[in-house]
Amino acid sequence: MSENALTLDCREGGAGNGQGGISSSIWRQYLTLVNLSIRRYLFTRYMWVLLGLGLIPVFFTGLYCLTRLVGPLPYSAPYIQLNAILQGMFRFFYIHFIIFFVANIFGFSLLRKEIDDRTLHHLLLQPVNKSTVILSKYIGFLIVTWILLSVTFLISYVLLFAPYGIRSLMTDLFEHGRVVSLVKECMVMLLALAMYGAFSMVMGTIFKTAWFGLVFYLWETGLPYLPSTMKFFTFSHYFQALTPEKSAIPPKMFEMYGEFPSPLRCYITLGIILAFLTALTVFLIRRCECKYSES
């Protein structure tokens, strides 16, 4: 979709009369801008980073599946062992590695690339609110990354149980209640992408290089080794608290994590931080626009 088409669509949306017309116009603007952002993300080099990182667990679980198919299998699937593997992969590999780097790469480039390429004015000169433009790009990033990473996570789960047959898979999903845990884990992935992405988006408006990412990564992955009072100043502490299936992780690891906050406290704390980060991004971009137009 071209910029002219986007402008025309937004102007047509404003032609409605009354409160209903205004609401319809706002939703049309959001949908148009989100759709444009998604289509732009699908054809950038960052998609290769997303695909590369997202397919790593699929590759390893695929190897596990092949080795199980070659060798002799037990009569039934070792549910505890397989769920422990999946939980370890989700808690440590997805949250601390894949999601962190995907969110930081996409979040940092979300507006930084527009500033460096001097194309920011093309976005901000659209006949829509500037915060709408920024939030639409942010939502587009969340949709693209969350869908792909959720799909790779679910494929990895299926590959773990594939050697033991469809019956074992159905037993774990419905009799053991695993389907509910999978939904919750996908929602934790969305929350992690939102928080890490929002933080990196702010950093991208301040810094020209992503040097802060290394310091931030060491801080987040150092969660088990931080003093108990400092753990609450990491995002990872709240993601670990919201992740279900805690029985699959050794108790000693949770002793290092410390006492988890309640789900309500997690959502309230992360919600306040997310609102602050998005508002700060809008404020910084407005200031950046003034400097940008004068140069």
Which pair of tokens denotes residue 48?
């290769």
Which pair of tokens denotes residue 100?
């962190």
pLDDT in tens, 16-31: 445 555 567 777 777 8
Q: Which domain holds residue 91?
A: 44-294
Q: Is residue 153 part of a domain?
A: yes
Q: What percent of the chain has pLDDT over 90?
A: 37
Top-confidence residue, 220 or 7: 220
Mean pLDDT taken over the chain: 82
Q: Is residue 2 part of a domain?
A: no
Q: Is residue 14 part of a domain?
A: no
What pLDDT score was predicted for residue 294?
Answer: 47
DSSP code string of 113-148? HHHHTT-HHHHHTSSS-HHHHHHHHHHHHHHHHHHH
Displacement of CA 144 from its chain's centroid (Å): 9
Q: Taking the model in full, what pTM does it have?
A: 0.85
Residue 271 reports pLDDT greater than 70? yes
What pLDDT score was predicted for residue 11?
Answer: 46
Q: Is residue 236 part of a domain?
A: yes
Residue 3 reports pLDDT greater than 80? no
Q: What's the helix, strand, coil split of the chain in %, to 5?
A: 80, 0, 20
CA distance 154 to 151: 5
Q: Is residue 284 part of a domain?
A: yes
User: Whose structure tokens read 């939102």?
Assistant: 194
The answer to whether 200 and 281 are in contact (CB under 8 A) is: no
Burial (CB count <10 Å: 0-12, 13-18, 19+), residue 77: buried
Cβ atoms within 10 A of the Cβ of 165, count?
13
The answer to whether 236 and 220 are in contact (CB under 8 A) is: yes
Which pair of tokens denotes residue 147?
């869908």
Q: Is residue 31 part of a domain?
A: no
Q: Is residue 183 part of a domain?
A: yes
CA distance 223 to 217: 10
What pLDDT score was predicted for residue 4?
Answer: 42
What pLDDT score was predicted for residue 77?
Answer: 75
Which pair of tokens denotes residue 28?
């049309």
The count of domains in the chain is 1
Q: Is residue 158 part of a domain?
A: yes
pLDDT in tens, 34-83: 888 888 888 888 889 999 999 999 999 999 888 887 766 665 678 888 88
